[in-house]
Amino acid sequence: MEKAYRIKRNKDFQFNYKNGKSVANKQFVVYIKHTEELEHFRLGISVSKKLGNAVVRNRIKRGIRENFKVHKDDIIPVDLIIIARQPAKNMTTLEMQSSLEHVLKIAKVFNKKIK
């Protein structure tokens, strides 16, 4: 993901936690904050150390980023924070993708109808 698509600062994470809406399924929690000044979505990923060592956490983050690369043009301009839950550590990339699509459909952040 390019830098313009990332949320990295703690201040931005905290603002989204306090002012955003949350949607969840068993594997992921998504915080959504609508902002008018954005041209595209921004993504922040949080994976706790409770989920595993660095190898496991980075595999989860890569799977999440891959899903957003696939749907880059389909997501409305919002700030998204994705928090991985315990079941996400045993999922493949394709399972992560379907779970993320499910929770993002619930959050209504897609421009178009996704199959």
Q: In the 3-class helix/strand/coil scheme, how is the chain assigned residue by residue?
A: CCHHHECCCHHHHHHHHHHCEEEECCCEEEEEEECCCCCCCEEEEECCHHHCCHHHHHHHHHHHHHHHHHCCCCECCEEEEEEECHHHHHCCHHHHHHHHHHHHHHHCCECCCCC
Task: Report, as an integer, the average pLDDT of 38-63.
Answer: 93
Alpha carbon 63 to chain centroid, angstroms: 10
pLDDT exceeds cutoff 90 at 45:
yes
Per-residue pLDDT tens over the stretch 16-33 = 999 999 999 999 999 999
Q: Give all domains of the chain, ordered by start, each with its CATH number.
A: 3-107 (3.30.230.10)
Alpha-carbon distance 55 to 69, whole Å? 21
CA gap 80, 28 in Å, rounded: 12
